[in-house]
Amino acid sequence: MPAFALVGLYAAQSITGSMVQSALPVVLRDAGVALDRIGLLSLLFLPWVLKVFWSPLVDRFSTPRRWILMCQGLLALSYVIGAAFAPTTQLAALLPVVFVMALLAATQDIATDAAGVHATTRQTRSLASGASTVGGYAGFLIGGGLWLWVYARAGWELSMVFLAVAMLLLTLPVRALRIERPEGTTKRPSLRHSLKNRTLIRGVGFLLLWQSAVRLGAAMTGPMLVDAGFSLDAIGWLRGAGGMITGLIAAVAGTLMCRRFGTRSVLLSAGLGVGACCVGLAIWAVAPGALWGLATLQLSLSALTAISFVALYAEMMNWCAPDQVATDFALLQSLDAGLAVIIGILAGQIAQHLGYAPVFGGAVALLFCALPLVRRCMGKPLPPEISLNNVEIAE
């Protein structure tokens, strides 16, 4: 599968999540909606946490291509319907529509990951992983950045039509896919089979430990900038444009490094770098220095996290059984999404009562518990590949 097709798929996958989780709260607050009501938007994240429970349906019925086409078409329609309900005056009517968007986007997420795995081999999984990260940033740019810009200048209705058009345009790469269901299996995909997959379960343990460290290290970086004295404009540039450019460059670099050195070596190196950045942030929290130093540490942390994610994502794909990729990968992502919520709450409590340094110190401790497990959990042989001779790209 051409790299541009994968990037397009993953960009479409992240548009809705970016709009719901990043841009819509800004719109609501600008309209004077109370913070406690805006906080309820976090419930819209539930489909991404719970998607594992309907992921076997994607493995059992039809093909990833058809699921993606269906979900993206319905998402475009949902955006048009949502245009009729301005959040400033009809929020109660809009929220059910947005929840349907979240359900469709989460299902699209399941099918897209399955398509990425089926269209690559173990040796080329880093391409799908890198495309996921690059596409995620592109989707964030559309759903979290450009959409907000269109809304500010053209209003709610046209901004939602803009998203519908963007989704339809990003459906074009899907038309090039010809991914059929895997051959050579009589097993009915289910979560029960996922729990019997030893490679996957070992990967789950490693994923939770590794991501606990990485997410804990990143959880309080935004509030830390505020308390350090950065203006909101500066934070917007640092975490918006600066973070996006850094992340995109890092994702491309991570893909190339995984192809050259392998995911295991890249994850080890990136993990050590993340640990070094967290140590630096802990020291800065105890003995504040120049603001440019803090900005450099945070951008470095963002870049190294992106590189580590490219390597980790590729291995997550390799842990999945070829005949139920959608189910296995959705299980990994749902656990990671639930972990993100828990770590975010925990980091806030630690920072509030003990300060920022213990947050970063805890991240370092968890990371150095995870690093020795990299060699054991990554690069393991896969089960025999199921025939996928019906995977092709349309001419």
CA distances from residue 355 to 286, 347, 351 in whole angstroms, order as listed: 9, 10, 4
pLDDT digits (tens, 9 = 90+) for 344-384: 788 888 887 888 889 899 999 999 888 888 877 765 444 43
Give residue 179's pLDDT. Answer: 60
Does residue 102 carry a pLDDT above 50?
yes
Does residue 391 carry a pLDDT above 50?
no
DSSP one-letter code for 177? E
Amino acid identity at 284: W
Give residue 115's pLDDT. Answer: 79
Exposed, middle or buried by CB within 10 Å (0-12, 13-18, 19+), for 181?
middle
Give residue 393's pLDDT. Answer: 33
pLDDT digits (tens, 9 = 90+) for 326-346: 888 888 888 888 888 788 788
Helix (H, G, I), strand (E, B) or coil at 178: strand
Q: Which of 176, 182, 174, 173 is nearest to 69 (CA)?
A: 174
Q: What domains sit in the chain, N to C, each tagged with a CATH number? A: 1-181 (1.20.1250.20), 190-382 (1.20.1250.20)
Give residue 355's pLDDT. Answer: 84
Does residue 182 carry a pLDDT above 70?
no
For the segment 305-321, the average pLDDT, to the nearest whole number, is 86
25 compared with 388, residue with greater pLDDT? 25
How far apart are alpha carbons 136 and 391 in whole angstroms? 24
Helix (H, G, I), strand (E, B) or coil at 393: strand
Alpha carbons within 13 angstroms on the beta-carbon side of residue 18 total 22
Helix (H, G, I), strand (E, B) or coil at 52: helix
Does residue 388 carry a pLDDT above 60?
no
Helices (H) and strands (E) in the chain, counts: 20, 2
Q: At what angle do helices 64-82 and 91-118 cross, to 10 degrees?
A: 160
Over the range 60-94, which residues count as b (16 or more CB within 10 Å of their CB) and which as e? Answer: eeebbbbbbbebbebbbebbeebbebbbeeeeeeb
How far apart are alpha carbons 320 and 329 in whole angstroms? 6
Query: Cα–chain-centroid distance for residue 245?
Result: 17
Helix (H, G, I), strand (E, B) or coil at 229: coil
Question: CB-based contacts of 241: which residues, under 8 Å, 6+ apart?
Answer: none
| Residue-averaged pLDDT of the chain | 80
How far apart are alpha carbons 244 and 141 in whole angstroms? 8
Give residue 384's pLDDT. Answer: 39
SS (H, E, C) 104-117: HHHHHHHHHHHHHH
Give residue 382's pLDDT. Answer: 40
Instruction: Give me the percent of the chain exceeding a pLDDT of 90.
Output: 10
